[in-house]
Amino acid sequence: MKALLRPYVAAFRARFLLMLQYRVAALAGFATQCWWGAVKIMVYAAFYEAAVVAAPISLPNVITYTWLGQAFLALLPWVADPEVGMAIRTGGVGYDRLRPLDTYSYWYARTLGWVVARALPRALLMFAAAGIALPLVGFDAWAWRPPSGTEAALLFVPALALMIMLGVAVLMLANVVVAASLNERGVNAVLMPLVVFFSGSLVPLDFFPDTMRPFLHAQPLAGLVDIPFRIYFADLRGLAALEGLALQAAWTLVLVGLGRFVMGRMMRSLEMQGG
C-alpha cells in the first residue's frame, strides 16, 4: 500500500514545496483578504444593528464565518490548475500518460499540493491577524473566534479535510474541460461565479430566501464553505453535523467518479500538441 501511494505523495510534496516559495503572492493575497474581511464585517454589523431577529446566524458567528472564508479562500476551486493547461498545450501530458501511474490520481495529488500550499500561509497569517491580533488591540467584537466547544472542533477536522478533497474533485473536472478545450479562460469564467455563489462564500446560504434553502443545502458546492464553517461554530451539531459530513463525502465520491469517467473519455480522443 505504502509503495503504491509513494509516487502520488511525492507529486503532492514536490508541488507543495514549490508553491510555498511564492511568499510575495501570499502576502498580497493576505492583505487583500484582510480588506475584504473588514469591509464584509462592517456591512454585516450595519445590517444586524436594526433587525437582529431576522438573522439566521448570530453576528459573532457571521464574523467568524467571514474570517474563515477569507483564511481558506485559496482552497476554493475557482481556477483550473494552470499546470494541467500547460501540460496539454506543450504536449507534456504525453509524459504523464507514459508514467506507470493512474493519471487521475497523479493530477489529483499535484493539484492538491498546489491548492494546500497556496492556502496554508494565508490561513496562518489570517488566523494570527483576526484570531490573535484583533482581540489584543481591543477589537474583540470583530475577532475570529475559536470553535464552539470540543465537539465542534473535533468535527471541523474531517469537515476541513473533506472540504479540501471536494474542492480538488471540482478542480479535476475543470482540469478535464481545460484539457478537452485547450484553454482555461472559458472554464474559469464559468467556475468562479458558480463557486462564489453556491458555496456560501458570498453570504452564508441561510441568508437566501427560505424557499431556496433546501436546494442550496443539498447541492455539492455547499460542502466547500457553508457546511464546514457551520460545523465550526456548532450551527450544525450532533446528527446535523454528521449529515453535513456525509453530504460532503458523498459529493466528493460522486465528483471523483464523474471526473474519472470524463477523463477516461477525454484521454481516448486526446490529440497531442506541441513538438
Binding of residue 6 to another protein (CB under 8 A): no
The answer to whether residues 205 and 226 touch, using CB atoms and an 8 Å cutoff, is yes
For residue 180, give the C-alpha cell. 478537452
Binding of residue 10 to another protein (CB under 8 A): no
| Distance between CA atoms of residues 56 and 68, nearest Å | 18
Binding of residue 35 to another protein (CB under 8 A): yes
The answer to whether residues 131 and 67 touch, using CB atoms and an 8 Å cutoff, is yes
| Of the residues 9, 39, 132, 182, which one makes contact with another protein according to CB under 8 A | 39
Binding of residue 196 to another protein (CB under 8 A): yes
What is residue 146's DSSP assignment? P
Binding of residue 42 to another protein (CB under 8 A): yes
For residue 263, give the C-alpha cell. 477523463
- Considering only residues 176 to 195 of the shown chain, the ones binding another protein according to CB under 8 A are 185-186, 189-190, 192-193
The answer to whether residues 178 and 84 touch, using CB atoms and an 8 Å cutoff, is yes
Binding of residue 3 to another protein (CB under 8 A): no
Number of residues in contact with another protein under rule CB under 8 A: 35
Nearer to another protein, 35 or 95 (CB): 35
Q: How far is the CB of 72 from another protein (least distance, A)?
A: 18
| Distance between CA atoms of residues 229 and 206, nearest Å | 12
Give me the residue label for grid cell 461554530: 233
Nearer to another protein, 209 or 275 (CB): 209
**Residue 31 CA to chain centroid, in angstroms?**
19
Where would I find the H helices in 51-148?
59-71, 82-90, 93-98, 103-126, 134-136
Binding of residue 54 to another protein (CB under 8 A): yes
Nearer to another protein, 27 or 218 (CB): 27
Binding of residue 86 to another protein (CB under 8 A): no
- Close Cβ partners of 213 (under 8 Å, ≥ 6 residues apart): 205, 206
Q: How far is the CB of 200 from another protein (least distance, A)?
A: 10
| Of the residues 10, 28, 133, 246, which one makes contact with another protein according to CB under 8 A | 28
Binding site for another protein (CB under 8 A): 25, 27-29, 31-32, 35-36, 38-39, 42-44, 46-51, 54-56, 185-186, 189-190, 192-193, 196-197, 202-203, 207-209
